[in-house]
Structure 1
Amino acid sequence: MGKLSLLQLIVSIMVALALAHDTGNDTMNKREKRELLVRSKRRWVLSTIELVEEDPGPFPKIGTQIFNDRTPMLKNNYQFRISGTGVTEEPIGVFSIGDTDGVVYVHKSIDRETYPIFHINFDIMDKETGNPVDRTLGFDVAIKDINDNAPYFENLVTKASVKESLPEGYLPVPLTARDRDEANTENSTISLRVLSQEPAEPQINLKQVEGTKMSQLTFTGCFDYDKVKMYKVVVEAKDHGKPALSSTAVVNLHIMDSNTHQPVFKNKTYNTQVMEMESNREILRVAVTDADTPNTPAWRAVYSIVKGNEEGNYKIETDPKTNEGILTVIKGKDFEKTTVTNVEIAVENEEPLFVCGSGGPNSPKTLTALPQTVNVAVKVIDVNDPPEFDKKVVNVYVKEEEVTGMLLYTPKVTDVDSDVGKIRYELVEDPAGWVSIDNKTGAVTTVKKMDRESPHVNKDNIYTILIHAIDDGKPPATATCTILVHLGDINDNIPSLVEKELVLCGNKVIVPVEDKDKPPFGCPCSFSLGVDNGDKTLKSHWKLDPANGMEAGLVSLKTLPYGNYTVPLVILDQQGQEAHDIVQVIVCDCGKGDKCRASLPRSSSLGSAAIGLLMAGLLLLLLLLLFLLLCECGGKTFTHLPLNLQEEGNQTLIKYNEEAGGSACKGEPMLILTPTTPNREVIDGMKQATPGIPFIQKTNEMTQETNEMYRTTGRTIVTQVSSSGEGGFSGGGTFQRMGEAYGTLRSQGGRGMYQTTSRNNTMRSNSSRYSRLLSNQHISEHIDRKLYMIGDEVDYQPYGYGYEGTGSKCQSLDELSLNNLDNNLDFLGDLGSKFNTLGGICQQDMQEKNIRL
């Protein structure tokens, strides 16, 4: 049974192991791999490498040798390699290794302070494949230290300033020494000591500060600035190495002067004098000597008054430049009470005095030495004392607007040096000129009513008056008294508007009011609308809300057009005193502000009204033109002249630059006959401007003048001018000129032509037709003069010529042959549009006058 149970137990364990193997196969595999990477048998063999810094050699020297247990299997087919610090990294060239024997060589000395440790890597490589045979072996080589560095100070020379009054103990000079050798060894352990000092007193030592590597100088005794001003201390730092190394540093101590000497007065006593009641004046300067350094707190003096200034009449200050004491009287001394004052002055320095005793400084309080003092005798010189008012400031209470002549104040004056009866009084300050003063009694009375609201009265309702009392001494002395007149208020002012012109932006505007009187005579006030003088719209437009207080609210009851409005107001103060005032209200567009907006910039566009006015003006101008045309031409028919009788230059263009060839010969002179009027009578300047028309001033008469008739060969011209009028020529007169001509237009035979031309002209002053008439008259006058003198022209007299052969063939156009034209005038039916227009006008004129061609 026992064996059976043991067998069952074994089987159960095997089954459990199988299941565990199946479920944890991956985990076991990973674990086995990890164990294979971590747990392995050491194959490298390396002896200890010991290197000492600054090894003198000789080099190369063997440092160590390494082995690997896989080398037998490679049968010399391997190679050792070395890398790391000293080989492939700085400092390069320190180590090397034999390829097959694994001997490590050292080639030069090493400075531990520069490279305290070397990290070296060893490898073994297969020569054929170049692959590593085993893992890399890393090895750290520590360099052994030797005492090759001496301690050193951070500063070879240290300067420090020490006050002469410094108590014995530590000096403000910390010292620190360092060593580059390996820490926490005897090579880097340092000891400091004072090697020497100059001078030897007081004794200076070194003491290490607990908890630090710093040491500090100490001293016992006292420094004396007057004897020694600088100390030189040599300090040594030494390590504990073998052999021990050391270095030194120098400490220069500069001694600063302190207050070791008391200031001493140059004189033992001083005397001075001051005028009676004189104040704020320098009366004496006292000087001291001090052996300490000038312009230092140990030298600068501080003065004080120890005795004789119980009433505070004097003060003493130090002159910073001379170190003297300045004694000044600040409050006058009365000669009648004191003639001489003894003032005791003491002097000290700004810095407390010290004395070195029993090896250390002691405060002056523990010594018997006291501050230096000196006595000053101040003599008071008698002068004329001024009068004295019993009250220098007097308060007087009166009401404003009191009757003039009221007595305000009569002063009481005393004078110890002069007769009171000989004192005179003067009014010094009376800005409003309200009072007067009696020169003998000093009585102050009013000469004008005093107004509380005057600008000369301050905000406390006080009017200030100053008076002087002057005695008859030599020189005269003066006393001053101030009279403060407190003015009580009465209801002597009515309310008034602060601003008489207000801007209404909405429907309400605040109307502020002021009353110079104080309550209960001034505001708050009551407001109401004034009398509208029959205008019933005032109360329908405005109301007051609120109507009581320091200001009223003026409310518009309806929307008002923009403009200015006058609103009368009645204002009552608390006593019912009535004031009538008018406020101007400006109703305008304020935008978002509380003031009227500025005018918009002018625009170049026209409104409908402007456009309408412009069109109306244009229509009116057209109507005026049409009216003038009707007045000029209405009811009358325009008479057209035949083309051959129209005047040259009248409504036509005159060509002046024709240069065509003219006739080569002249059959007879062309005579342009125009009437002349000899013995003409000129009435005035207007008549003189129209010489072609004679004027005779007659009333309701018709004057007719027949001009001289000129006859030439084959031509007769008669010109008749008739004019009617009163008082000469007038702007509205009518002229008619008729001309009849009989003659032959051809020089040799031909067809006669009779033409009668009539023209009616209506002339107005300053018109274009009047101007043309003047021009025609000037031309007519010129032609008349030429015709009048033609009889005297030699060129036109009969003249005999010698026979020169056949005469000219072009004396006349009648000799031209027109046979080739066969009298065919059909071409005249189609002369163009311009001629057709002209022909139509002439045809119309001839039809109206029944003229037949």
Structure 2
Amino acid sequence: MGTGFLWTERSISVSAALLRQTSRVGVSLSSREEDDSAPGITEVHLAKKAHLFLFFFLTRGFAKMNAGCVILACTLLVGASSGSKAGQPLKPPCRPGFSQNFYTVIVSRDVLHGQSILKVKFEDCQRNREVGFVSSDPNFSVRPDGTVYAEQEVANLSEPVQFMVTARGLHDPHIWETTVKLALAGHPHPLPFTKIFSIIHYHFHWRVLVIKFLRKHQRGSSASGLRRQKRDWVIPPINVPENSRGPFPHMLVRIRSDQDKDVGIRYSITGAGADQPPSGIYNIDPISGNMFVTQPLDREERASFHLRAHAVDMNGNQVENPIDLYIYVIDMNDNRPEFQNQVYNGSVAEGSKPGSSVMQVTATDSDDSTTANGMVRYRILSQTPHSPIPNMFTINSETGDIVTVAAGLDREKVSQYTIIVQATDMEGNLNFGLSNTATALISVTDINDNPPELTVRTFSGEVPENKVNVVVTNLTVVDRDQPHSPNWNAVYRIVSGDPSGHFTIRTNPITNEGMLTVIKPVDFEMNRAFMLTVVVSNQAHLASGIQSSLQSTAGVTISVQDVNEPPVFPVNPKMIRFEEGVPAGTTLIVFAAQDPDHFIHQTVRYSKLSDPANWLKINRTNGQITTMALLDRESIYVKNNVYEATFLAFDNGSPQASGTGTLQIYLIDVNDNAPVLIPREAQVCERARPNSRINITASDADVDPNVGPFVFELPSFPASVRRNWTISRLSGDYAQLRLRIPYLEAGVYEIPIIVSDSGNPPLSNRSVIRVKVCPCDDNGDCSATGAVAAAGLGTGAIIAILICIIILLSMVLLFVVWMKRREKERQAKPLLIDPEDDVRDNILKYDEEGGGEEDQDYDLSQLQQPESLDHIINKPTGVRRVDERPVIAESQYPVRPSLPHPGDIGDFINDGLRAADNDPTAPPYDSLLVFDYEGSGSTAGSVSSLNSTSSGDQDYDYLNDWGPRFKKLADLYGGGDDD
């Protein structure tokens, strides 16, 4: 692959006019051989900041490679060699390479080992090059003469085979490639070159380009001495194919300076891909200026590189200005189209017209979308099922839109289609392109094209009278539309036969059946049967062009069953009015019920169901209601002047039926309650003030007109009431009580007041109000002292209480002082004996208890019950049983004389101690004790035995010399002699 343009081996001379034109833009072209190491390398002298018109044109012309550009480029080449004469026709230049860029051979499906396929022709322009051929397919090889043969047997070929043949010079870096396609006999295959750019993309190989810095004196003017134009030179891009197999490093271009013959030049490149990430892809020989690519490129990772070439002398000084190099990675078809999803879900309504859009599938190709490598085309491989036709859908090859082709979609026949869609790049060319597949699931959505149909034309049922929410019958229906959708859900209507609205039809959401239900009670005595007409439809309207079925209408016959109906009170509840205070035994009303069963003669009886105050009774036969107590409107059982009682009427039918009636008695108020004074307590200042008044009112349980206005007055007895107090009426319901005298001693006073209502006749009540008279502050409020005084505690009582408290505190203090003094006297009293003789045993606590016994085993028989008392008696003192009380006679302790000598008290105590030490019956008795576990970590071992007589290396005999006080300790550690 090369740099994007082609130069021939011969010299190229252009006409004088073209030279003059190119001289203005600073172009110097020659084809002299530079050295033997790089034959055929063409130099291009580039003047910086000048626009290389012809070079750019040739580069772009061959890169596009269409017929027009080829012809236009050829017309610019007016001379074929330096020795050609003006006006002579150009001889086509010789170009090393394969004679064809693409070979197509038709072969059979079975290819034998060593079988020759074809011979590729390579032209070296009489250079006598040594060229080697390599095949990209391991199943095929190429002989030195260009014959392609089968390396191994290939059996049963199913698809055409395509591979590359590469020619490489053995002594130079040139590489040429051609494509070989083996087409199967009888297999359709397209023309090898339908697009000319595909030839360029794969098979054009360019000569190595030399990019040369112009000398400084050439940058000022052109060869003709004309003034240069101030333009930047445009270096043509270098095109490198991706996924090249090498060998690497592979030379791309050569960078040279005009001063390389005068001074030593060192070349370098910088930029992404050279010294910047991803670094190491390109490098340059610092001496020769040869630029190489070191590894295969991937256009999908990076499509282009921008490098800068530098030329410096041996001292590092810049010799030339940097040159910008643009490297473009040529795309290869190395990526398959990838669908965004492996499974696509779409839907289309049944009955859709041809051309209806269903869904869209999308596949992307990582290759260059501007070339055929990235141009994806779609097609449908298969459709399942094939009903009603195998090709119900088609796909737009460019957009991936799937549409219907024909009519006839019916969800009731086919509810889902499975379509395999293939995406192929290379514009859908199956021979050259790469493909991928995805699955499209197309669901046929339901429309209401099937009206519901009742299974029978007539339904029947029975219903008992006076029953509600009873299902009479179920109406069954058939609908072929999608279940549990608006197109399937049934809606039932009663169009005739039920003018009173006794029935309704509810839809069962699971079975879609219509449940004919009674919502108003039916009466056998009025209607013994009903004839209904029912129509069924769907929640959704029928699709256009679909008519309702005759099966959507049916008749329903309903029979009413006679049952024993309960007696009914004509007026329920029944309201009557009476004055309260009606005496017991008064007849209020005859509360009778009627039996609705006219065709059956039955007897009605009555009973009381609810009578909260137990004021009423009812006659069992005729329903007459009589009072049993005085009716009181002020009772807690009366609400809003109404007393309510319920009664039961039942017949003697089978089964027995009963009905309930409610009697409401409105009680008219009479003046039977005297008013009561409010408030019952108050307080007032001891000295009369303008605001020292008590507002009073009254409460009456009766209602108007037997309540206010009230009359308030003070009684004439006792006389002190009217002498000290006065009362004045404020309104019909309120009055004020205040002091008549300027000063009244503090205290509590009970003042009687007579209150009368306005009833006919009026009722009066003598009520007492408790008034606290107290001293007040400047604001007219009772002070704390005054409040206490008003409560009945005088100054003397308060002083007496304080004195009692002081006396109690003094007694407690004296008791504490006496206890402290007694404690000090007890501590100062001398002891009875000399402290030096007062020898006492103490339990000492040691942190270290030793390492324990050497032998942890011990004899449990030492703790067992002795066989006889003689054994205990005959044992030495060091070994005896002390864990229980012995049965022998207790020892006799010495008795102190009645008048002991003061000096004998010590002897007496010592004698008693010795006797106690030798007494085997003296308590306390030894026993097995259980000690709590106190945790691990102690350096001492477990105390497993208190008797270590089995250990021969321990001698505790010296304990016997300590005296009788330590005899028990000696017995425990001495062990005895009879073990």
- Taking structure 1 as the reference length, what is the TM-score of the superposition? 0.52
CA–CA separation in structure 2 for the residues paired with 1:552 and 1:525? 13
- Are residue 105 (structure 1) and residue 292 (structure 2) matched? yes
**2: CA distance, partners of 1:620 / 1:291:** 110
Query: Among residues 507, 511, 520, which one is paired with 1:331 in the alignment?
Result: 520
Q: Amino acid of the residue matched to residue 180 of structure 1? A: S
| Cα distance in structure 1, aligned partners of 2:901 and 2:288 | 141
Q: CA deviation at 1:113?
A: 1.6
The 5 A counterparts of 1:111-130 are: 111-128=298-315, 130=316
Question: Per the alignment, do residues 83 and 581 of structure 1 end up closer, same or farther by CA in structure 2, a change over 3 Å counting?
Answer: farther
Q: Is 1:318–1:326's contact at 8 Å kept on the other side of the alignment?
A: yes
Partner residue of 1:449 out of 621, 626, 630: 630
Once the two structures are superposed, residues 296-342 of structure 1 have per-residue CA deviations (whole angstroms, 9 ceiling, x without a partner) of 76666554434322222233434556655444434343334333322
CA contact (8 A) 1:46 1:64 kept: no
Whether the 8 Å CA contact 1:272–1:379 is kept in 2: the answer is yes
- 8 Å CA contact 1:407–1:445 kept in 2: the answer is yes
Counterpart pick for 2:702 among 513, 517, 521: 517
1:463 partner amino acid: Y
Among 227, 241, 263, the residue aligned to 1:53: 241
Alignment correspondent of 2:382:
196
- Measure the CA separation in 1 of the matches of 2:570 and 2:736: 53
1:180 aligns with 2:360: no
Task: Output the amino acid matched with 2:616.
Answer: V
Contact 2:727 2:735 in 1 (8 A): no
**1:41-78 deviation line (CA, Å, top 9, x unaligned):** 99997842321332555554443344557x47x94244
Q: Where do 1:827-842 residues align within 5 Å?
A: none
Aligned partner of 2:498 among 309, 315, 338: 309
> Which residue matches 2:673?
493
Structure 1 contact 76–100 (Cα < 8 Å) conserved: no
* Alpha-carbon offset, residue 85 of structure 1: 1.6
* Contact 1:261 1:292 survives alignment (8 Å): yes
Q: Secondary structure at the match of 2:630?
A: coil
Residue matched to 1:343: 532
* Structure 2 CA distance for aligned equivalents of residues 166 and 498 of structure 1: 90
Contact 1:532 1:568 in 2 (8 A): no
| Structure-2 change in CA distance of 1:120 and 1:554 (3 Å) | farther
**CA offset at residue 535 of structure 1?**
6.2
Distance 1:204 1:370 in 2: 34
Deviations 1:348-392 (A, max 9, x none): 56x6486xxxxxxx35x8414145344332233445666555434
Residues 1:455 and 1:614: Cα distance change in structure 2 (over 3 Å): closer
Cα 1:456/1:180, change in 2 over 3 Å: same
- 2: CA distance between counterparts of 1:83 and 1:508? 112
Structure 1 residues 537 and 175, CA gap change in structure 2 (3 angstroms): farther
Instruction: Identify the residue that residue 754 of structure 1 maps to in structure 2.
Output: none
Cα deviation for residue 154 of structure 1 reads 0.5
**Are residue 657 (structure 1) and residue 844 (structure 2) matched?**
no
Asked which structure has the greater CA Rg, the reply is 1
In structure 2, how many angstroms separate the alpha carbons of the residues matched to 1:257 and 1:396?
A: 67
SS in 2 for 1:492: coil
User: Match for residue 824 of structure 2?
Assistant: none
Please list, as runs of the form range in 1=range in 2, the aligned pairs for 1:590-601 lying within 5 A after superposition.
none
Alignment-mate amino acid for residue 230 of structure 1? Q
* 1:92 counterpart residue number: 279
Partner of 2:902, secondary structure, is coil
Deviations 1:797-850 (A, max 9, x none): xxxxxxxxxxxxxxxxxxxxxxxxxxxxxxxxxxxxxxxxxxxxxxxxxxxxxx
Aligned-residue offset at 1:260: 6.1
Q: Distance in 1 between matches of 2:400 and 2:693?
A: 88
Summarize deviations over 1:154-178 as a string: whole Å, max 9, x none.
0122245667688877566332222
Q: Kindly tell me: are residues 449 and 397 of structure 1, through their superposed partners in 2, closer, same or farther at Cα, counting changes over 3 Å?
A: same
Q: Secondary structure at the match of 1:224?
A: coil
Q: Are residues 224 and 378 of structure 1, via their aligned partners in 2, closer, same or farther at CA, if it must alter by over 3 Å?
A: same
1:115 Cα deviation from its structure 2 partner: 0.7
Q: Name the amino acid aligned to 2:384.
A: E
Q: How does 1:764-775 map to 2 (within 5 A)?
A: none
Residues in 2 aligned to 1:116 and 1:613: alpha-carbon distance in whole angstroms: 113
CA contact (8 A) 1:46 1:66 kept: no
Letter in 2 for 1:84: G
Q: What is the SS of the residue equivalent to 2:807? A: helix
- Superposed CA offset, 1:174-199 (max 9, x none): 32222323345555444444343223
- For the aligned residues, what is the CA RMSD? 5.6
- Alignment-mate amino acid for residue 672 of structure 2: D
Letter aligned with residue 143 of structure 1: V
Counterpart of 2:560 (choices 372, 377, 380) is 380
Asked if the contact 1:47/1:66 (under 8 Å) is kept, the reply is no
Distance (Å, rounded) in 2 between the aligned partners of 1:447 and 1:590 = 58
Q: Which amino acid aligns with 2:612?
A: P
Instruction: Give identity over the alignment, percent.
Output: 29
Distance change in 2, residues 1:421/1:521 (3 Å): farther
Q: Does 1:158 align with 2:336?
A: no
1:655-712 Cα distance to aligned partner (Å, 9 max, x none) = 950469xxxxxxxxxxxxxxxxxxxxxxxxxxxxxxxxxxxxxxxxxxxxxxxxxxxx
Alignment of 1:550-569 (within 5 A): none
Residues 429 and 620 of structure 1: CA distance in aligned 2, closer, same or farther (over 3 Å)? closer
Shift of 1:112: 1.6
Q: Structure 1 unaligned runs (5+)?
A: 1-39, 355-361, 592-606, 622-653, 661-853
Correspondence for 1:233? 419
Of the three residues 401, 425, 434, the one matched with 2:615 is 434
1:399 is aligned to 2:604? no
What is the CA deviation profile of residues 382-403 of structure 1, one whole-angstrom value per residue up to 9, with x for unaligned ones? 4566655543443323333345
2:650 is the counterpart of 1:484:
no
Residue 473 to residue 113, structure 1, CA distance change in 2 (3 Å): closer
One of 625, 629, 639 as aligned partner of 1:458: 639
> For the residues of structure 2 that align with 1:216 and 1:608, how far apart are their CA atoms?
110
> Structure 2: how far apart are the matches of 1:619 and 1:157?
101
Letter in structure 1 aligned against 2:439: V
- Letter of the 2:531 partner, please give it: N
Distance in 1 of aligned mates of 2:320 and 2:677: 116
Change (3 A) 1:618 1:250: closer
C-alpha change, 1:190 and 1:446, in structure 2 (3 Å) is same
| Alpha carbons 2:451, 2:548 under 8 Å: kept | no
Q: Are residues 1:83 and 2:273 paired?
A: no
Change in 2 beyond 3 A, CA 1:617/1:56: closer
Matched residue type, 1:333: V
SS in 1 for 2:530: strand
CA distance in 2, matches of 1:99, 1:550: 124
Residue in structure 1 matched with residue 34 of structure 2 by the alignment: none
User: Using the alignment, how far apart are the partners of 2:738 and 2:361 within structure 1?
Assistant: 91
For 1:489, the aligned partner's letter is D
- For residue 178 of structure 1, what is the amino acid of its counterpart? T
Displacement of 1:200 after TM fit?
A: 3.6
Instruction: Describe how 1:675-754 pairs up with structure 2 within 5 A.
Output: none
Q: Which residue of 2 aligns with 1:683?
A: none
Tell me if structure 2 keeps the 8 A contact 1:303–1:346. Answer: yes
